[in-house]
Amino acid sequence: MAMSHGRDADERDHDQQRDPDALLARAGVRADTDQDQHFLVDDRVLDRLASHTTELDTSHVLEIGAGTGALTARLLDRAERVTAVERDSRLATFLREEFADAIAAGALTVVEGDALVVDLPEFTASLSNLPYGISSEVLFRLLPRKRPLVVTVQREFAERMVAAPNTENYGRLSVTAGHYADCEIVETVPPAAFSPPPAVESAVVRTTPRDPDYSVPEEPFLAFVRGVFTQRRKTLRNAIRNTGHITGIEQPEAVVEAADEELLGKRAGELAPEQFAALTELAIEHTDVAPPK
């Protein structure tokens, strides 16, 4: 009996389903760069991105911006269950057709809609190639869930996420992300890894949830950080006075009078997170704090 040297048909079909260029061709859609559609098509980057699941609880993985499903296919190989969110109705329809077997088996749910608006399920980890334009808003929605994240974002955005005080990239994003998690850039990704290539480099960021080193009510703290960073070139003294409409501090002058003089002479970019927390506590002690909703 002759032995077959060809691969099993199921294996070939599986490889075809994972191939990003083949998926893009079958989807038959042209990327809409106005919607930040840059499809990740480098097999090596996709495989490395999915490999981070080995360190995570993969009982329910959330993917934001599933596109043509190149990462989705890899996540299905590793996770018990995947929920893929996709705003483009053309791509959501394609995902339902392409992964019909996984959907029928209960391994995949495709949610069509804007990730900033739709109800997100409970999840154990999230891996995503995030649309650049909404990276900040998506992360501010995911980080409070206190689940591990692995996300591909603009390199400049990633550098702001992990920046330390007194550095050029340190800002509101650095403090807010660090409030919820340790953030680490695990690799940079060149434009050629995408179709069409974006104008900038990207980076993969991994976040590991943790409690901050300080204790402060969350809403007033985040409102205070948001407010003073809108005037990052001014001293804290003037930033506190000028941003009550953002911070919710009704009597900013009382806070200025009670705060340490040396601290008030600094700018927002010079303060460590625990110093922001201390000023927030001071604001709570000396005035009613009611951050806008």
Q: Using one digit for the tens of pLDDT, what is the confidence trace for 29-38?
A: 888 877 778 9
Count how many residues are written for the chain: 293
Question: For residue 47, is pLDDT > 60?
Answer: yes
pLDDT of residue 286: 75
9 Cβ contact list (under 8 Å, min separation 6)? none
* Single-letter residue type at 282: L
Q: Could you read off the pLDDT of 185-237 as tens digits, one per residue?
A: 999 999 999 999 999 999 999 999 999 999 999 999 999 999 999 999 999 99
CA distance linking residue 19 with residue 34, whole number of Å: 25
Q: Could you read off the pLDDT of 98-125 as tens digits, one per residue?
A: 999 999 999 999 999 999 999 999 999 9
Q: Are 225 and 172 in contact (CB under 8 A)?
A: yes
Question: For residue 285, is pLDDT > 90?
Answer: no
CA distance linking residue 258 with residue 281, whole number of Å: 11
> How much of the chain exceeds pLDDT 90, in percent?
83
